[in-house]
Amino acid sequence: MKIVVLDGHAANPGDLDWTPLAALGELTVHERTPASLTLVRAAGAQALLTNKVLLGAQELAVLPELRYIGVLATGYNVIDVAAARERGIVVTNVPAYSTPSVAQQVFALLLELTRGTGRHAGLVREGRWSSAPDFCFWEGPQVELAGLTFGIVGFGAIGQAVARIARAFGMRVLVQTRRPDPTAWPEVTFVDRDALFMQADVVSLHCPLTEETKGMVNAATLAAMKSGAYLINTGRGPLVDEAALAAALHVGRIAGAGLDVLSQEPPAADNPLLTAPNCVITPHIAWATRAARQRLLDTAAANVRAFVEGHPQNRVG
């Protein structure tokens, strides 16, 4: 079986091993594939693995030998799943591999916003502590998390992991989800979305991107938030109206935002959030710990193996 990885660099920039996948067929790994080369590189492959390279109906129509697509991620919107199903092409993803890492990044962003560890370390290197008149100094408020209310929108595996960490910090946890389960989670309070945005000191987004949730953080929801509240988004960039968030930050409508995802990645140079005050942005790295990427590759290889053996797993199409 000919196996082609179209864009393997993000998952494995060289610190991991493709050998388990190579053992399943004739493997070719491309670090990145521009749209102009997708069909050239995919030609003749029975199995394609992709992270962000689009495989729509037009591409699938001219790849007659293709029988399997493995998405090197949890989200699979880069694939036209309906078109794949019509052609008998199995589509799989890799669920839950990044849960601990993404939950960790949520609090890395929040702690930078509330304590400014990285910012203050930079000020020390600039000589600000050396020239201070006192034994200590700080810029901006120092905020304690214990006793604050942490709101979670979406309560899948990552949302649940975030809830546990928030509780460990001594925070009250509010959750908005389509399927509340107070019996299983007596330590959190389930509320509707409006109540969550109004009551939470921190709002963290962990819901899927749908027509309903696209732009859910907008001028109206930001106006409903506490003036001292923080927004964290490690989910999907389009959940947030970026112009509205930038405007809110410029006027101090909320205290700050921590973002690991944006609507366009890499962002355009004129994205208003890049110059917004009290906005910490990381370049979509929540998922990228070595441990998480190892789980990703292990599961991707296991998915291909299961397909070869006739019992596909983690099938989404």
Domains of the chain: 2-95+290-308 (3.40.50.720), 99-281 (3.40.50.720)
pLDDT above 90 covers what percent of the chain?
A: 98
Q: What gap in Å lies between CA 13 and CA 9, rounded to an integer? A: 5
pLDDT for residue 41 is more than 90: yes
Q: What gap in Å lies between CA 109 and CA 47, rounded to an integer? A: 38
Catalogue the active-site residues: 236, 265, 284
For the stretch 167-195, pLDDT in tens is 999 999 999 999 999 999 999 999 999 99
Quickly state the pLDDT bin for 317 (edges 50, 70, 90).
confident
For the stretch 136-155, pLDDT in tens is 999 999 999 999 999 999 99
Q: What is the pLDDT of residue 122?
A: 97
